[in-house]
Amino acid sequence: MKKAHLVLTLAMFALLTLAVAAFWHNANSQVAALEKASASLCQKDAPGMNFPDLGESVQDCESPAFASFRYENDNLLEENVIENTFSAASGNPAAVYCANVMKYPYKIHKDAGGGERGVCVMPDNEECDQWDFYAGTCGQKFNYCAQNGYKTATRKDDKDSFAMSYAVCLSPRGEEIGLPSELSSLKLAERTPELPPVTESLSGAALANLNTNLPTSFDWRSYNGSNWLSPVKDQASCGGCWAFAAIGVTEAYVNIVNNNPNLDPNLSEQQLISCSGSGNCTGGSTVGALPYISNVGVVDEACMPYTQSNSTCDNKCSDWQSRVTKVEKVVNFTPTPDLIKQSVVTYGPTAVYMGIGSGVGGYFSNAIYRCTNDAAINHAVVIVGYDDVGKYWLVRNSWGSNWNGDGYFKVGYGECAIDTVYAGYAYKPSYETGYVGQSYVDPTMLAGQTQEISLTLKNGGTATWDDNTKLTARNPVSDPDNLDAPHPFCDATWEANCNRIQSAGSVAPGQSKTFNFKIKAPAAPGTYRINFGLVQEGIGWSGAPLNGQVGFEVSVATAHQVFIPNTQRMASADW
């Protein structure tokens, strides 16, 4: 009897072992099938796409299609059959939670100040502010916790990697199960990027022009009593943070260079996503987007509205070429904290990359964002100021004007790779010209007589003079706006005899350049004035001096001469 019982027990144990083995084989088969299918999907979606701010060659495995494929069954998460990795691909986490995780409609509304804020539409048509829904204070019976049989509580501490106010799921006994962002594996894609070469190094001449007398704090939102930033936008679930950062820099640039904080152009992120070749909704490169805006320009939002998707470039308005905004100069550079401070104060808001989310150990501590991993990056933002006392950056995000109260947050110095990996800004070069001196000018000349003169000017601007920066002589009487008009001091072979137009060559800011001219007195007696000034081909060539002029008068066949140096900035009409 005992022997029979032992045999039966062993048989039952064997069957149980086989059942467990079969279960785990089935589970592993699901994992293998899922991985195989997901790899195929990745290859099909975007083989070999390379997005520098996301890192190595990416097979688009963070695309919404791939994410939806991986997020098919909540029960699989609880049964530990697979790890559900739903990636926001640098999208707005609240939008991803609403639209992709919970599958609810997501809308973007304008607030009173012109900013964009997302709302999540509940099954009963209640519209919840996206971050209120994320925090569990609105639409509670429809959130992730409720849909999985849990209670909901709202926490305000440093345990969530996306927001200071967030929801947690509780068991019926009040035990904390976890955060919806963790239970649904909502996270951003973290990768270490291989950045392309910088377009201009902040060293030498460029660095020499940066402000070294910096304030201990600075904020473009309150500079001279005005907010120079355009309203904060919402990228929704599209991973186009790189485009929003580039547009944020550009919109501020327009306000700053026009000395008008109220212009606030609303430019098209969609054009960058669809047309620039710098990326799409699965990630991209601000490094490429800023030069695109400089070379091609970007249209207004009404011309190419934001679709939160990879729409085609053909969707621009018919007259788009007449509606583009450009930045004149772009600098992409490898930053240090001091260089970022100088670029922000001297030129304007500066785009940077950083890490954010649970994958980089992101958390809020005393309202300042920090990371346990300060090397990985997955998000593009705009630094608009800093505070040396608090040791943090003031940062503009693209997760809606209602995120963190106003769409901005503080990031600690040296945290989350924000001040060590990449920075880029746009600016309008200044060609301020300073008068240094000139050689002696004989006040009397006979008709046909020649004399050589020299003029020394100092580059007091922010741009390096080059071969397109040229000193030219002008006749302010006969034809002040025509560089080719005959001047009374020279004959028909003007340029050969007078060296009328001279390229500056390479003259860095703060350096001086001496130009040598030969002048020839005209045949008719009288008092003549000759003016010299700088022009920049392609910028100020047609009758527009870069800055001021210097000049002198010579009397031919008389004894009257007056040298009149003019070191003040003049409008082109004064030439």
pLDDT digits (tens, 9 = 90+) for 413-448: 999 999 999 999 998 877 667 777 777 777 777 777
Residue 362 scores a pLDDT above 90: yes
Average pLDDT of the segment spanning 147-159 = 93
479 band by pLDDT with thresholds 50, 70 and 90: very low
* Cα distance between residue 558 and residue 526, in whole Å: 7
Q: What is the pLDDT of residue 174?
A: 92
108-142 in b/e form (b: 16+ CB < 10 A) is: beeeeeebbbbbbbbeeeeebbbbbbbbbbbbbeb
Average pLDDT of the segment spanning 317-328 = 95
Q: What is the pLDDT of residue 181?
A: 83
* Cα distance between residue 220 and residue 349, in whole Å: 7
| 152 close to 143: Cβ distance less than 8 angstroms | yes
Q: Could you give all domains of the chain from N- to C-terminal order, each with its CATH number? A: 26-183 (no CATH), 205-427 (3.90.70.10), 433-574 (2.60.40.10)
* Cα distance between residue 32 and residue 25, in whole Å: 10
pTM listed for this prediction = 0.69
Question: Is residue 281 flagged as an active site residue?
Answer: no
Q: What is the pLDDT of residue 85?
A: 30
* Tens digit of each residue's pLDDT (9 = 90 or more) over 263-307: 999 999 999 999 999 999 988 999 999 999 999 999 999 999 999
Share of the chain above pLDDT 90, in %: 49
Q: What is the pLDDT of residue 29?
A: 40
Helix-strand-coil percent breakdown of the chain, rounded to 5?
25, 25, 45
Q: Catalytic pick from 100, 255, 379, 459?
A: 379
Q: What is the pLDDT of residue 487?
A: 52
Q: What is the pLDDT of residue 87?
A: 31
Q: What is the pLDDT of residue 76?
A: 23
* Tens digit of each residue's pLDDT (9 = 90 or more) over 481-491: 444 444 555 54
49 band by pLDDT with thresholds 50, 70 and 90: very low
* Cα distance between residue 384 and residue 350, in whole Å: 7
Which of these ranges, 72-76, 227-231, 524-528, has the smallest mean pLDDT?
72-76
Q: Catalytic pick from 241, 275, 303, 498?
A: 241
* Cα distance between residue 547 and residue 54, in whole Å: 43
- Taking alpha carbons only, the member of 531, 527, 523, 529 closest to residue 559 is 527
Residue 58 scores a pLDDT above 50: no
Taken as a whole, the chain contains a residue count of: 575
Tell me the sheet residues that pair with 231. none
Which of these ranges, 101-105, 195-199, 366-370, has the smallest mean pLDDT?
195-199
| 447 close to 525: Cβ distance less than 8 angstroms | yes
Q: Which residue's entry shows tokens 């640098």?
A: 90
How far CA 254 is from CA of 289, 328, 461, in Å, comes to 16, 10, 19
**Which of the two residues, 195 and 568, has the higher pLDDT score?**
195
Q: What is the pLDDT of residue 462?
A: 72
Q: What is the pLDDT of residue 489?
A: 53
* Tens digit of each residue's pLDDT (9 = 90 or more) over 458-478: 877 777 788 777 776 654 444
Which of these ranges, 229-238, 497-506, 558-567, has the smallest mean pLDDT?
558-567
* Cα distance between residue 238 and residue 102, in whole Å: 16
Average pLDDT of the segment spanning 227-232 = 98
User: Which segments of 130-276 does DSSP mark as H helices, in order?
Assistant: 130-135, 144-147, 180-183, 205-208, 241-257, 269-275
* Tens digit of each residue's pLDDT (9 = 90 or more) over 532-549: 666 666 544 333 333 444
Q: What is the pLDDT of residue 244?
A: 97
Residue 69 scores a pLDDT above 90: no
Which of these ranges, 31-35, 149-153, 330-334, has the smallest mean pLDDT?
31-35
516 band by pLDDT with thresholds 50, 70 and 90: confident
Question: Is residue 397 flagged as an active site residue?
Answer: yes
Q: What is the pLDDT of residue 474?
A: 54
* Tens digit of each residue's pLDDT (9 = 90 or more) over 160-179: 999 999 999 999 999 999 99
| Three-state DSSP class for residue 469 | strand
Q: Catalytic pick from 143, 332, 397, 404?
A: 397
Q: Which residue's entry shows tokens 């390379």?
A: 50
Q: What is the pLDDT of residue 185?
A: 74
60-80 in b/e form (b: 16+ CB < 10 A) is: bbbbbebbeebbeeeebbeee
| 54 close to 283: Cβ distance less than 8 angstroms | yes
When the pLDDT of each residue in the chain is averaged and rounded to a whole number, the result is: 74
Question: Is residue 241 flagged as an active site residue?
Answer: yes
* Cα distance between residue 192 and residue 330, in whole Å: 24
Give the full edge-to-edge strand order of the sheet including 166-170: 151-155, 166-170, 176-178
